[in-house]
Chain A
Amino acid sequence: MPDGPLIVQSDKTLLLEVDHPSAEQARRSIAPFAELERAPEHVHTYRLTALGLWNARAAGHDAEQVVNTLIEFSRYPVPHALLVDVAETMSRYGRLQLAQDPAHGLVLRTTDRAVLAEVLKSKRTAGLVGARIDESTVTVHPSERGHLKQVLVKLGWPAEDLAGYVDGEKHPIELSPTTHPRTPHEQAAPWEMRPYQAQAVDGFWHGGSGVVVLPCGAGKTIVGAGAMAKSGTTTLILVTNTVSARQWRDELVRRTTLTEDEIGEYSGTKKEIKPVTIATYQVLTTKRKGVYTHLELLDARDWGLVLYDEVHLLPAPVFRMTADLQARRRLGLTATLVREDGREDEVFSLIGPKRFDAPWKDIEAQGYIAPADCVEVRLTLPESERMTYATAETEDKYRLAASASGKKKVVEQIVARHPDDQVLVIGQYIDQLEELAEHLGAPIITGQTTNKERQRLFGAFREGEISRLVVSKVANYSVDLPEASVAIQVSGSFGSRQEEAQRLGRIMRPKADGRTAHFYAVVARDTVDQDFAAHRQRFLAEQGYAYRIVDAEDLDGSPADSTAP
């Protein structure tokens, strides 16, 4: 297509012009094999990777299809080397297969003897495979299934795993048609899975094991619940931290037939093993005297399903441990397959290929994600604070910058701009938050707040009895506050882009009246605070959120909706 929406670069990036008439069609066509890297307003960047192409192969696409798609939508002739490379890469997947042999058990089979000879010759496969059965088959010890797959991906010959799974211990799990009320005065509401969530569950179940990619706030927990219901077996859920673990438990109780008693938490504080057990990555990777002490958890029950939340954050030791779980169904949930440590290949080999991917734009268009307006407010520090900052030790700098006194006034101004909204103020440092709460006359929730008090305040906020709430970082994870439409972050974690987006996604639920959500980050100018903010800014802009930078001096108390886009 001479006027196509796509530009294919020789460095394997694909540039998609969003405003092009056939952009939507092109997006659908390239989504199966290209990873979305950046989605700013005009041109989205996708990347072709070996893993992406193998994912496409696993999903049943062939090289010809990929090549034709690229040629069809490309504005300029597609670099020849790239096409050759695509065909070459895709042809590598599936030449080796892991399968169950009635006589020999788990075997590695090949359609291409030379490939088998090549991988067997490698030092890395030594000890992972057993006796050679014939020219094109070799036995594999079941316990090395994961290691072998890892090694084969590294060698560039990913194996297709057709060996199947153990059934696992049966445990009835159903999705409940109505939500279970959290508080006595909350009403049970009917609900069902969104269409894309149901598709994701189906896609995963057909593929056996694999990863479902959904943007932040698209309801990955529900996909997990759906998968558990489909499996109907005992389930091990691995999550990033305790807060997340509790949120999972709440969601499962709310939306499935599972009761609190059936769900165990395996974390630093509690060590429960129940039919559904939620464990944190951290507890799994805890070492005592050089030994992982909690490995028994993995074999504690005959798990029928293992769920990995936020696969892109999965720590390296967990990969090693889960290599032994290859006989069980595995579902990875993530917003992005891009890992900052470059271990995408481990996700691919140990969890499985990508089974479902919903373009962010699609979900936004269906109204499941609210558009958000992100504003970074830059505050110039007064002379005295700048001096203190300039001479401070490196480790104190962030705290100094983040808890700058001027932020109080800025927050006040922002709150004044949103008189009719439910406003959350989020921060890291308790001193600062207490000061702010006092200043705004708003209640505060921190780690010290009792559970009862928390529930009461959240209830009141949800009901609209209070419209301002100051929360610490700990508290903000476990809340689902659909009516919060303004969030003000005064101090955040040190520039973790993923966590930022997570937080944003959680708070920015679609509003009943379709209002735009606002997210403010208050940042001290010319400090590390600003540098961290730059990371976040880039991430959010790449995710397609509109992003502006405003000087604190330019803020006024007028209502914000007149300036909102």
Chain B
Amino acid sequence: MASSLPAAPAATTRHFADDLRQRSDTALAALLRARPDLAAPSPSTLRSLAARASSRTSLERALARADALTLQVLEAVLALEPVFRAPPGGADAGGPPLPGPLSPEVVTWALGGSADDRSLVEAAVHRAVEQALLWDGGPGTEQSDGQGSDRAADLRTSPGLDELLGPNPAGLGPHVEPVPDGLAEAVGRSLGSAPGRTGTNATEAALDTLLADAPGGARAILDALTWGPPVGVVPPAGSRPRDAVNWLVTAHLLVRSDARHVVLPRLVGLALRGGHTHRAPHTRPPEPQGRTVPTATADAEAASAALELVRRVRLLRQSWDDSPSSVLRAGGLGVRDLRRIAALLEADEPATAFVVEVAALAGLVRDDGEAPPSYVPTVTDWDDLDDAARWARLAEAWLTARRAPWLVGSRDDKGALRAPLSPDLQRPWVPRLRHSVLGVLAAARDADAVLAPTPDAVVEVLTWHTPRSVPPASAVEGLLAEAEWLGVTGAGALSAPGLALLEQDASANRTAGSPAGQEPSDVAGVLRAVLPHEVDEILLQGDLTGIVPGRPSRELARLLERSTDVESRGAATTVRFSPASVTRALDQGETADGLLDELAHRSPVPVPQPLEYLVRDTARRHGAVRVGSASAYLRAADATVLAGLEHDPSLTGLGLVRLAPTVLAASVPAAALHEALRSRGLVSALEGPDGRVLVARRGVTGRAIPAPRSAAAIRMGSAADVATRAPDPEALVAELRAVEAAARAGARARADAAEVAHSVAAPGAVPLRGYRVVSPAVPVTADEVTVTAPPEPAPSSSNGPDAPLDDDPGTQHPADGLALLRDALRDGSTVIIEVAGHTGRLERRELKPLNLDGGRLRALDPDREAELTIAVHRIASVLPTTPRPEANQN
């Protein structure tokens, strides 16, 4: 049990919260940046910041982001902690087995590796300290900022970390006393904590001495347990291995954990490992495996993918303009519609789902909001851009999207097929994973060649970066496939446009606040540079084909789209003219002469005679049979009857058109026509509906609906990151400091007051916001004193969100209580806990916490010598007990 109050003895160890408190402002800001979840919502005090930093959730998050090396460092510190520090309460043990602080240097020796590795390990230690996963538990001074002091830091793991990393860190067993002779010293020397570092020879020599008269097989048993797991099964009685085990247990080289198992003590394990905690440090991510692709190839592939995507999005918009697809009841696009679009786009279903998704992300298509809803294209300036700029819009939308289109076609928990555009494709973690994946690709791009790592290789690298949260291989594969469809990669390797996209995103993040992609970006320019040449001519051939030896210009593309069928697409385009394709052009208002002129104008060779003949012949036949719409018809055997009607001024509203001498068509329904003729005095008969009444097709133009006002609004999942929404770390730190200063002033006042009252101030009970100070000795007095001598209110507290600084009669902040419980667990000390009883009344008990897990506290009541379990939510407050003099010695 320790106290960090200035009044307390300097030799005592500090607490985690003290370490945080003593960090510099910049170090705290760095912490808040590295672990953004600590800053949102803003913690009210530094102690609650510390409590939050050591809470299970936050630690899990931090560990999930930690790379393999950092995790090794944490494991090493956790494994070495007990052997550098005597167990709490073991006052008679005579000090820790290994002397000296657990310094970063010791950690680097423990991990081993070359001199090169050591600097990386030290950097990892520094990072872990910065993220408050490690802290300096050495006897510090108030002004220490954790890095600038001349004394070697004494590293500790953050409270709660031991629970997350398991009972056997790095596969090492528990630390138990007594330690066999000479082992501690040998390990200490190999770790450099004891004078005269010797390397692994020392531990080998010590083990040899200990095993000098061991029975056969003893060493083999130890070797089997060396690299973990450290638990072995006891062989049957009477066997020779059993004798060896028995001997080892007697020699304290093994410990019986229960009737059937033995366990290798930590120091023995360390000695067997030559003083190391790990075989070797994983200082760097593995080199990704894959084939090398020339940059030119990657760029060219990317360019063709980009063009293809833009083309497909355009086709999708056209298709939905003509016939919108309806929205499923649960949201999303039905599988039949998906297949139809896939056939149209000449793509498989996953690629089609991606096209649909990316078009929606870029706000180019959306649900029209009608009942029943359909997907329709939006009105946008996208169509007016060139290919490169269109692509840039799509790519930017994709980069920040929180959606997982690769799940389309798989089934959810209820067995329902996941549909494109459906809300359950939303995955908040996608942007982070996408950035990691692209980051791996970006690291592999050089000037000439670029590596195309396999999905497995990418997963391997990502596994090094975050071993505790390995991304699912399917997601990585999905993202890589998307990058390929998009042209962010070409032939599996990052392309120049892809790199530009990443760089633009990085710079946009640096100048936070300006939304990405609003100004014409550089990304389009980079793509433009790698696109095939724009060609404005077509080679027409006698077999009715035409070849565009490059990328067709926009006008040419429009012409070809109208009048030809594409046979082959790629660096060049092969098109074929057929009666059907020419008819299409004629349908769109083209004339034979116009089409031939335009073709002649764009062809370096004369228009081949068969083509000319085809166009003219098709034009000749075009319109020979005509189709129109009418609502009703009027027929009569006598042509003269009808002749008068067509130009009758009283019937102009009927829209009568003469189709043949004996047939008139009308634009009004048959009933209306009938009525009108009757009123004119002409007795007409109504023909029954026999299918010849043509009904005008439902108007398809004008389906388009306006795009939403801001592009950001329709970008699915583009909400600002949590980190950017959180307050500025520097400002937050300043605020916390101010609270701290105010509290200190209050504490000083109270300490004085307490002295007057002959009371000992509660250690660690620095009165912070929301913290109720209760001195167990004379609680009422202390309260009264505090009340009568309130601290100076901090200037910033007036606009702070929390209660006033002075004593708050309400309950304690839960995080503070938990922090105290953790400290007590760690130190093996007792605390005073106020628990809400069955009747709702607060009961106060002094307890020794044993375990805190899953929302339950297991604790020992020393007075009653009984163990009890309390639900954490029933704990109203936790108070430290007065330090006991004998416990303070450690």
A1-57 residues with Cβ-Cβ distance < 8 A to B are 7-11, 13, 15, 17, 38, 40-43, 45
List 5 A-B pairs, minimum CB-CB distance, nearest first. Answer: A541-B543, A80-B491, A9-B570, A77-B300, A76-B571
Task: Kindly state whether residue B841 has any CB partner on chain A within 8 Å.
Answer: no
Q: Interface size on B (CB < 8 Å)?
A: 33
B454-491 residues with Cβ-Cβ distance < 8 A to A are 490-491
Task: Please determine whether B543 and A42 come into contact, CB atoms closer than 8 angstroms.
Answer: no
Given contact pairs A10-B569, A41-B542, A80-B297, a sample of 15 additional A-B residue pairs in the complex whose CB atoms are under 8 Å apart: A11-B570, A40-B541, A40-B545, A41-B541, A45-B568, A77-B294, A77-B571, A79-B300, A80-B301, A80-B490, A81-B491, A526-B621, A541-B542, A547-B543, A547-B610
Task: Please determine whether A45 and B297 come into contact, CB atoms closer than 8 angstroms.
Answer: no
The answer for the CA separation of A81 and B489 in the assembled complex, in Å, is: 13
Closest to B296 in A: A77
Closest to A9 in B: B570
| Chain A 460-472 interface 0/1 with B at a Cβ cutoff of 8 Å (1 = within) | 0000000000000
| Chain B 284-323 interface 0/1 with A at a Cβ cutoff of 8 Å (1 = within) | 0000000001101111110010000000000000000000
Known: A42-B539, A546-B542. A17 touches B549 (CB 8 A): yes
Question: What are 15 of the A-B contact pairs (CB < 8 Å)?
Answer: A8-B570, A9-B570, A11-B570, A17-B549, A40-B542, A41-B608, A42-B547, A42-B605, A45-B574, A80-B297, A81-B491, A526-B621, A538-B544, A542-B543, A549-B610
Task: Kindly state whether residue A75 has any CB partner on chain B within 8 Å.
Answer: yes
Most buried by A among B542, B569, B570: B542
* Contact partner, A548, options B298, B547, B609, Cβ 8 Å: B609
Known: A79-B301, A81-B491, A547-B610. A15 touches B547 (CB 8 A): yes
Chain A hits for B294, CB < 8 A: 77
The answer for the CA separation of A549 and B605 in the assembled complex, in Å, is: 18
Closest to B605 in A: A42
Closest to A541 in B: B543
Task: Please determine whether A40 and B571 come into contact, CB atoms closer than 8 angstroms.
Answer: no
The answer for the CA separation of A77 and B293 in the assembled complex, in Å, is: 12
Nearest CB in chain B: distance from A295 CB, A: 42
Task: Please determine whether A42 and B541 come into contact, CB atoms closer than 8 angstroms.
Answer: yes
Known: A76-B300, A542-B543. A549 touches B613 (CB 8 A): yes
Chain B hits for A11, CB < 8 A: 568-570
The answer for the CA separation of A75 and B535 in the assembled complex, in Å, is: 14
Closest to A548 in B: B609
The answer for the CA separation of A542 and B544 in the assembled complex, in Å, is: 10
| Chain B 541-555 interface 0/1 with A at a Cβ cutoff of 8 Å (1 = within) | 111110101100000
The answer for the CA separation of A7 and B547 in the assembled complex, in Å, is: 11
A79-99 residues with Cβ-Cβ distance < 8 A to B are 79-81
Chain B hits for A150, CB < 8 A: none
Chain A hits for B610, CB < 8 A: 537, 541, 547-549
The answer for the CA separation of A79 and B532 in the assembled complex, in Å, is: 13
Task: Please determine whether B571 and A7 come into contact, CB atoms closer than 8 angstroms.
Answer: yes
* Contact partner, B549, options A7, A41, A78, A542, Cβ 8 Å: A7
Main secondary structure of the interface of B (DSSP, over half): mixed
Chain A hits for B539, CB < 8 A: 42-43
B584-625 residues with Cβ-Cβ distance < 8 A to A are 605, 608-610, 613, 621
Chain B hits for A8, CB < 8 A: 570-571
Task: Please determine whether B543 and A38 come into contact, CB atoms closer than 8 angstroms.
Answer: yes
Chain A hits for B304, CB < 8 A: 10, 79
Most buried by B among A41, A77, A538, A541: A77
| Chain B 355-393 interface 0/1 with A at a Cβ cutoff of 8 Å (1 = within) | 000000000000000000000000000000000000000
Chain B hits for A541, CB < 8 A: 541-544, 610
Task: Please determine whether A13 and B568 come into contact, CB atoms closer than 8 angstroms.
Answer: yes
Nearest CB in chain B: distance from A503 CB, A: 19
Most buried by A among B297, B300, B610, B613: B610
In the complex, number of A-B residue pairs with CB atoms less than 8 Å apart: 93
Chain A hits for B547, CB < 8 A: 15, 42-43
The answer for the CA separation of A79 and B293 in the assembled complex, in Å, is: 11
Chain A hits for B568, CB < 8 A: 9, 11, 13, 15, 45
Task: Please determine whether B549 and A547 come into contact, CB atoms closer than 8 angstroms.
Answer: no
The answer for the CA separation of A526 and B579 in the assembled complex, in Å, is: 12
Chain A hits for B613, CB < 8 A: 549
Most buried by A among B297, B298, B545, B571: B571
- B: which residues have CB within 8 A of A? 293-294, 296-301, 304, 490-491, 532, 539, 541-545, 547, 549-550, 568-572, 574, 605, 608-610, 613, 621
Nearest CB in chain A: distance from B143 CB, A: 61
The answer for the CA separation of A254 and B307 in the assembled complex, in Å, is: 61
Chain A hits for B532, CB < 8 A: 76
Task: Please determine whether A13 and B574 come into contact, CB atoms closer than 8 angstroms.
Answer: yes
Chain A hits for B297, CB < 8 A: 77-78, 80
Most buried by A among B568, B605, B613: B568
Nearest CB in chain A: distance from B167 CB, A: 45
Task: Please determine whether B570 and A10 come into contact, CB atoms closer than 8 angstroms.
Answer: yes
The answer for the CA separation of A77 and B298 in the assembled complex, in Å, is: 9
Chain A hits for B293, CB < 8 A: 80
The answer for the CA separation of A546 and B613 in the assembled complex, in Å, is: 14
The answer for the CA separation of A43 and B576 in the assembled complex, in Å, is: 13
The answer for the CA separation of A526 and B571 in the assembled complex, in Å, is: 38
Task: Please determine whether A15 and B301 come into contact, CB atoms closer than 8 angstroms.
Answer: no
Nearest CB in chain A: distance from B400 CB, A: 28
Closest to B570 in A: A9
Task: Please determine whether A75 and B543 come into contact, CB atoms closer than 8 angstroms.
Answer: no
Chain B hits for A80, CB < 8 A: 293, 297-298, 301, 490-491
Nearest CB in chain A: distance from B487 CB, A: 13
The answer for the CA separation of A7 and B301 in the assembled complex, in Å, is: 14
The answer for the CA separation of A394 and B43 in the assembled complex, in Å, is: 88
The answer for the CA separation of A41 and B570 in the assembled complex, in Å, is: 21
Task: Please determine whether A15 and B545 come into contact, CB atoms closer than 8 angstroms.
Answer: no
Nearest CB in chain A: distance from B612 CB, A: 9
A533-552 residues with Cβ-Cβ distance < 8 A to B are 537-538, 541-542, 546-549
Nearest CB in chain B: distance from A45 CB, A: 7
Closest to A7 in B: B572
Closest to B579 in A: A534
Task: Please determine whether A9 and B541 come into contact, CB atoms closer than 8 angstroms.
Answer: no
Known: A76-B300, A548-B610. A9 touches B542 (CB 8 A): no
The answer for the CA separation of A542 and B542 in the assembled complex, in Å, is: 8
Chain B hits for A81, CB < 8 A: 301, 491
Chain A hits for B543, CB < 8 A: 38, 40, 538, 541-542, 547
Closest to A537 in B: B610
Chain B hits for A15, CB < 8 A: 547, 549, 568, 572, 574
Chain A hits for B608, CB < 8 A: 41
The answer for the CA separation of A43 and B297 in the assembled complex, in Å, is: 24
Task: Please determine whether B572 and A9 come into contact, CB atoms closer than 8 angstroms.
Answer: yes
The answer for the CA separation of A547 and B545 in the assembled complex, in Å, is: 13
Closest to B540 in A: A42
Chain A hits for B572, CB < 8 A: 7, 9, 15, 76
The answer for the CA separation of A206 and B727 in the assembled complex, in Å, is: 82
The answer for the CA separation of A42 and B606 in the assembled complex, in Å, is: 12
* Contact partner, B571, options A9, A546, A548, Cβ 8 Å: A9
Task: Please determine whether B574 and A547 come into contact, CB atoms closer than 8 angstroms.
Answer: no
Most buried by B among A8, A41, A42, A526: A42
The answer for the CA separation of A549 and B609 in the assembled complex, in Å, is: 7
Chain B hits for A547, CB < 8 A: 542-543, 609-610
Chain A hits for B298, CB < 8 A: 80
Chain A hits for B542, CB < 8 A: 40-41, 541, 546-547
The answer for the CA separation of A9 and B491 in the assembled complex, in Å, is: 15
The answer for the CA separation of A421 and B541 in the assembled complex, in Å, is: 30
The answer for the CA separation of A541 and B608 in the assembled complex, in Å, is: 11
Closest to B573 in A: A9
Task: Please determine whether B570 and A79 come into contact, CB atoms closer than 8 angstroms.
Answer: yes
Nearest CB in chain B: distance from A117 CB, A: 24
Nearest CB in chain B: distance from A220 CB, A: 24
Closest to B549 in A: A7
Nearest CB in chain A: distance from B491 CB, A: 4
